Structure 1
Amino acid sequence: MLQVSRTDSPPVRLRRQTVSPRCGWPSSHHGSSLCLLPGRGCCHVSAVKCRLQAGECLRQDLSVLRWERYKPSVIRNLLRSSSALLLALMPLLPAAASATEGRHKAVRPDPVVFVHGWNSDGSTWRAMAERFRADGWPADHLDQWTYDATQSNTTTAVRLAKEIERVLERTGAARVDLVTHSMGALSSRHYLKNLGGTAKVDAWVSLAGPNHGTDAARWCAGTPCIEMRPGSDFLSALNSGDETPGSPRYATWRSPCDMVISPGDSVVLDGAVNNTTACLGHSDLQADQTVYEEVKKHIR
């Protein structure tokens, strides 16, 4: 750091060399230091120490010195100009901070509503939710919703609509992302197609969803099992017309080793980005790291 001080020691008179009228940096000493003498003059030195003596800049190590006297009026004008510039820039600082804050808000992720499958609950999403949280999703933006999986998918869709409204109100978001597993794909698709859900959902994900039915549902009883059977009235209505309606971004993931969804291409939807995973079991898609990374990229 440049130090300017007064001393009573005898001055060391140095050779003077005139620089430009504006006391500009000498072309041969771009790394030199500047010693400013208010009301007297300024000098450029290649070392970092100089002292004030008899109105001159003095170098202790006697290396090159270049200096010129300024009139007091010039020094005052320079100081006034610097102060005026700082005052002019100060009002811009809060605006810049506000713009930065706005950009941070703009990239805040949508809330994620997880919809589990038959004979399950919200805890099945623990691994994936933890990964989202570690990657910057706020805890209140990760809704591991639990519902009664023994009721009709149409009934679940109505409950899902209410759950999404609750999440939007709590977070202040405009839309959510839906990440579903297995039968969770069916109630969420009914919500999108028949209950105005396309206006509230930005991205939709189906992991191992029986979107066109599964033969495994013939081995279980109850309304949701009947609805999951290939050719059921529920699935026929759900898949009639556009399978991916509205503006949401649809994507599916299926595994060649999934023994629950049969046939395996039941997961695929027209208009969606359809992905095939490595050899994973039916429930392994929710915890697989690679699947998570692909889902995260999709909903971003």
Structure 2
Amino acid sequence: MCTLLRDRPPRARRALVLALLAIVTGCAAAPGAKPTPPPEHVPVLFVHGTDDTPGAFFAMVDAFEQAGWPKEHLYAVRLHPNNGQLPIEVMAYQVRRAAEGLRKRTGAERVDVVAFSQGALSTRYWMQELGGQPRVRRFVSVSGPHHGTRAANLRADPALVQMRPDSAFLRELNRRENPFGDTEVFSFWSPLDSTVVPADSSRLSGVTERTFFVPAHQLMLSAPAVISATVEVLAQAPRQ
């Protein structure tokens, strides 16, 4: 090969070198070379609140798909009944069943959970009281009434009674100092929320917290800033 190059004029030698480089580069990308695999996305379970349906997460689920999550890794559970007529503990069993189904279908050891309003309390009860915490990698609470809401005084449905400030249910749920173990927890809420009253009832001690000046409770699930932040935190690499 050295003789082949030496016997040619400079321009011809340069062309031959470029041709050889192209052949080598082509061989490196030949069939049999494994492409870089796409990043693995942890399955996400979406849990709605009182008087809601899985459709409340339409915009958010679409954003996760656009960010690369496979459709089969995204599941919005339909809780029944959705109007607060049964206690939150009953909803928590439905969350558990949905989470285990998602794990089984995807083969995942742990899932991420995005829960809105009462759904955040149902998720917490599953995690804290039904042994679900080891199954959850990250938990994003969106406008969860963790310390109750005075708006719940307007209704007498069992789940709404449990969401009243200082209810026996909430006292029990909030009694532990570190209820989430190694699960990474985020609380997203709006100071302008008129459904969770006071709005800072959505705060949780010891978790990552973000506020968004969204003018209404239900708009938290369609607000671009909230959606972007949710996708961002669930796309982060695991903590070392």
Same fold by TM-score, threshold 0.5 exceeded? yes
Alpha-carbon distance in structure 2 between the residues aligned to 1:243 and 1:147: 27
Correspondence for 1:44:
8
Return the match for 2:56 from 110, 118, 124. 124
Answering whether residue 93 of structure 2 is matched by residue 158 of structure 1, we say: yes
Alpha-carbon distance in structure 1 between the residues aligned to 2:160 and 2:2: 88
Answering whether residue 145 of structure 2 is matched by residue 213 of structure 1, we say: no
Alpha-carbon distance in structure 2 between the residues aligned to 1:183 and 1:241: 19
Correspondence for 1:108:
40
Which protein has greater RCO, CA pairs closer than 8 Å, 6+ apart? 2
Correspondence for 1:257:
192
Alpha-carbon distance in structure 1 between the residues aligned to 2:9 and 2:51: 81
Gaps of 5+ in 1: 1-21, 25-33, 36-41, 50-85
* Contact preservation (8 Å) 1:244, 1:270: no
Local SS of the residue matching 1:119: coil
Local SS of the residue matching 1:199: helix
RMSD value over aligned CA atoms?
2.3
Residue identity in the other structure for 1:214: T
Alpha-carbon distance in structure 2 between the residues aligned to 1:291 and 1:210: 17
Local SS of the residue matching 1:269: coil
Answering whether residue 199 of structure 2 is matched by residue 297 of structure 1, we say: no
Correspondence for 1:80:
none
Residue identity in the other structure for 1:121: T
Return the match for 1:197 from 113, 132, 140. 132
Alpha-carbon distance in structure 2 between the residues aligned to 1:208 and 1:244: 19
Distance apart, 1:23 and its partner CA? 4.2
Alpha-carbon distance in structure 1 between the residues aligned to 2:121 and 2:174: 10
Return the match for 2:34 from 71, 74, 97. 97
Residue identity over aligned pairs, in percent, reads: 31
Of Structure 1 and Structure 2, which has the larger fraction of its residues in helix?
2
Correspondence for 1:222:
157
Return the match for 2:202 from 264, 267, 274. 267
> Which structure's CA Rg is the greater one?
1
Alpha-carbon distance in structure 2 between the residues aligned to 1:271 and 1:119: 29
Correspondence for 1:11:
none
Alpha-carbon distance in structure 2 between the residues aligned to 1:244 and 1:295: 22
**Equivalent residue pairs, number:** 218
Runs of 4+ residues over 4 Å off in structure 1:
none
Cα distance 1:23–1:188, how it changes in 2: closer, same or farther (>3 A)?
closer
Alpha-carbon distance in structure 1 between the residues aligned to 2:157 and 2:221: 25
Alpha-carbon distance in structure 2 between the residues aligned to 1:205 and 1:187: 13
Distance apart, 1:221 and its partner CA? 2.0
Alpha-carbon distance in structure 1 between the residues aligned to 2:179 and 2:228: 23
* Contact preservation (8 Å) 1:244, 1:269: no
Cα distance 1:235–1:109, how it changes in 2: closer, same or farther (>3 A)?
same
Residue identity in the other structure for 2:74: L
Answering whether residue 211 of structure 2 is matched by residue 276 of structure 1, we say: yes
TM normalised by structure 1 equals: 0.68
Alpha-carbon distance in structure 1 between the residues aligned to 2:121 and 2:138: 15
Correspondence for 1:135:
67
Cα distance 1:188–1:23, how it changes in 2: closer, same or farther (>3 A)?
closer
* Contact preservation (8 Å) 2:214, 2:220: no
* Contact preservation (8 Å) 2:63, 2:231: no
